[in-house]
Structure 1
Amino acid sequence: MCLHTYQLHQAPRAWYATLSTFLLKNGYRRGTIDKTLFIKKDKHDIILVQVYVDDIIFGSTKKSWCDEFEALMKSRFQMSSMGELTFFLGLQVKQKADGIFISQDKYVAEILKKFDFVNVKTASTPIETQKPLVKDEEASDVDVHLYRSMIGSLMYLTASRPDIMFAVCACSRFQVTPKTSHLSAVKRIFRYLKGKPKLGLWYPRVSSFDLEAYSDSDYAGANLDRKSTTGGCQFLGRRLISWQCKKQTIVATSTTEAEYVAAASCCGQVLWIQNQMLDYGFNFMNTKIYIDNESTICIVKNPVYHSKTKHIAIRHHFIRDAYEKKLIQVLKIHTDDNVADLLTKAFDVSRFQFLVVSIGMINP
């Protein structure tokens, strides 16, 4: 697939209406989930046109279709061609014969320089295992604006760096009154980035094309309020396409409840991806969701267990409905093989590195 970028010079709202009408007249159809996506396909090939404000990314399985689209757009709009996609919204894209590599090492270099971490000792992991973050009210206050600025910069980096996702989310919970211990934890993330600036996501050209997901939770992992952390990641073959790390809104009363809430969150993301993939012409039914908790799987599958879940909010139970409709299937996986673990807790170096490689992150 060839990927290219274009930049339009018209005012966003004004040209979007014109652009969509123009594309629809020329054989494209608008995406049902994403209204800024336009698609044209036949039995063998497909072209995708993604509009983002005043930029367009387009890619096709057939190079001649890219050329035709380019000519079509130039015939109607005042545009400037940016050529093959190499950089977009801070993401660096390297298109190779055997796959695509996405990273943000230029952005990493920028924030290391901005916050004066160019000449520091590196860290092997982004967060310590022995020192959980707590309120630490006796410690000194730190500059709240600096702390928030550092967190904001790191948040943007999680678009291509799931390896720092958990650490950034953990530190972001202390933005109201950050203390020296919290700033020290944020600095550790920067020191980790100093040692691994070029790490990115590898999307191999040759891989299976089945949708699968991994769900996990860390029971009562948040020391502030004893809420659990949800972790989830979704793959197309061995290509990581989506990942989540979020503190749960409830205080779970058991490991099973925390895992069930995490599984429901993962299921919601899977259903969204299924609908999105329908636009591309792929129907993913019975998507596998791997869970490392046997009781959670039983609750999803077996109505006998439902009396034990009356205290769980109704909104989480749609996962049962998805299972009954055969939209998903839930499978047991050993904790050691659950890659969503990376998004729920801190690890020692060996386990952390194993998980980073397992989700498809490499150094170019």
Structure 2
Amino acid sequence: MLAVASIQNWHLHQMDVNNAFLNGDLEEDVYTELPQGLREQDQFKGKVCKLKKSLYGLKQASRMWYVKLTESLLANGFTQSKADYSIFLTETKGNLVVVIMYVDDIVVGSINLDAVVSVKQMLKSLFKMKDLGPLQYFLGLEINRIDVGIHVLQRKYCLELLKEEGFDECKPAKTPSSVKQVLSANQGDPYQDIGHFKHLLGQLQYLNSTRPDITFAVQQLCQFQDSPTTMHYKAFKRVFRYLKGSPS
């Protein structure tokens, strides 16, 4: 969508749904314990609450919110994309309007600003929403309008990742991988926390969106995610040290 918006000079606006999961309607009977202060009273002992709406923490919550939003958009003239079910299309005032959603984050795009405003007003009439104005930050991506299109970077995401893993004070490396080191499955001792290793891989793979300079190093590490060793984690640390020297 960012590529199309850049080429067609679309307006992109962002909205955030307040307490999105509370909008979902439950299809089955779900019961929960009474709040602690209430269940201690004699007249409520042995009783439970029957939920009418979904709550945060329920396994059904995210699915029911998705169903609720989808049904609401379809009922208001939108068509759901068959290529990506998080994309919805409609025509307002003779202009194509695209809506993309990720949980409670929604982006509305069109070449016509009045069409964008019209769709935003429609969404506000359906759900309690916060209008965040022109798109600036979405899922770790910083979106900046420039004269020749749209500039996307992940500097904030990168800095937060470095701080989370304790590399915010490390010594920077000049390259993301060593030209002398060839990784293999038999190097070093087994790395104990495989889940943590895979978690780091996922975060770096998402960073590849705007950092092709680390793609090769990350791809090499992905080959050993099922049985990583201490040498592989050492190679991981070099990628982070490289990012420390150039976080954007």
**TM-score, normalization by structure 1:** 0.48
CA contact (8 A) 1:117 1:194 kept: yes
Structure 1 distance, partners of 2:175, 2:98, is: 38
Give 1:3's match in structure 2, choosing from 12, 17, 23.
Answer: 12
1:179 aligns with 2:226: no
Deviation, 1:119, is 3.0
Q: Would you say how many aligned residue pairs link Structure 1 and Structure 2?
A: 197
For residues 304-350 of structure 1, what are the alpha-carbon distances to aligned partners after superposition, in whole Å with 9 as ceiling and x for unaligned? xxxxxxxxxxxxxxxxxxxxxxxxxxxxxxxxxxxxxxxxxxxxxxx
Structure 1 distance, partners of 2:77, 2:245, is: 49
Greater relative contact order, per chain length (Cα 8 Å cut-off, separation 6+)? 2
**Given residue 82 of structure 2, which amino acid in structure 1 is its aligned partner?**
T
Give 2:119's match in structure 1, choosing from 66, 69, 78.
Answer: 69
Structure 1 distance, partners of 2:180, 2:68, is: 57
Deviation, 1:192, is 1.5
Structure 2 distance, partners of 1:121, 1:167, is: 18
Structure 2 vs 1, CA of residues 191 and 16 (structure 1 numbering), >3 Å: closer, same or farther? Answer: closer
**Given residue 157 of structure 1, which amino acid in structure 2 is its aligned partner?**
L
Structure 2 distance, partners of 1:133, 1:127, is: 10
For residues 15-62 of structure 1, what are the alpha-carbon distances to aligned partners after superposition, in whole Å with 9 as ceiling and x for unaligned? 544443443344332212222211124897421111222321111111
**Given residue 11 of structure 2, which amino acid in structure 1 is its aligned partner?**
C
**Given residue 12 of structure 2, which amino acid in structure 1 is its aligned partner?**
L
- 2:106 maps to which residue? 56
Larger radius of gyration: 2
Give 2:213's match in structure 1, choosing from 142, 152, 163.
Answer: 163
Deviation, 1:63, is 0.7
Give 1:40's match in structure 2, choosing from 65, 76, 90.
Answer: 90
SS at match of 1:193: helix
SS at match of 2:88: strand
- 2:80 maps to which residue? 30
- 1:109 maps to which residue? 159
* Runs of 5+ consecutive residues of structure 2 not aligned to the other structure: 1-9, 25-61
SS at match of 2:133: strand
Structure 2 distance, partners of 1:180, 1:195, is: 23
* Runs of 5+ consecutive residues of structure 1 not aligned to the other structure: 199-364
1:129 aligns with 2:158: no
CA contact (8 A) 1:90 1:104 kept: yes
Structure 2 distance, partners of 1:78, 1:23, is: 15
**Given residue 55 of structure 1, which amino acid in structure 2 is its aligned partner?**
D
Structure 2 vs 1, CA of residues 44 and 193 (structure 1 numbering), >3 Å: closer, same or farther? Answer: farther
Structure 2 vs 1, CA of residues 61 and 148 (structure 1 numbering), >3 Å: closer, same or farther? Answer: same
1:144 aligns with 2:193: yes
RMSD: 2.6
For residues 233-267 of structure 1, what are the alpha-carbon distances to aligned partners after superposition, in whole Å with 9 as ceiling and x for unaligned? xxxxxxxxxxxxxxxxxxxxxxxxxxxxxxxxxxx
SS at match of 1:46: strand
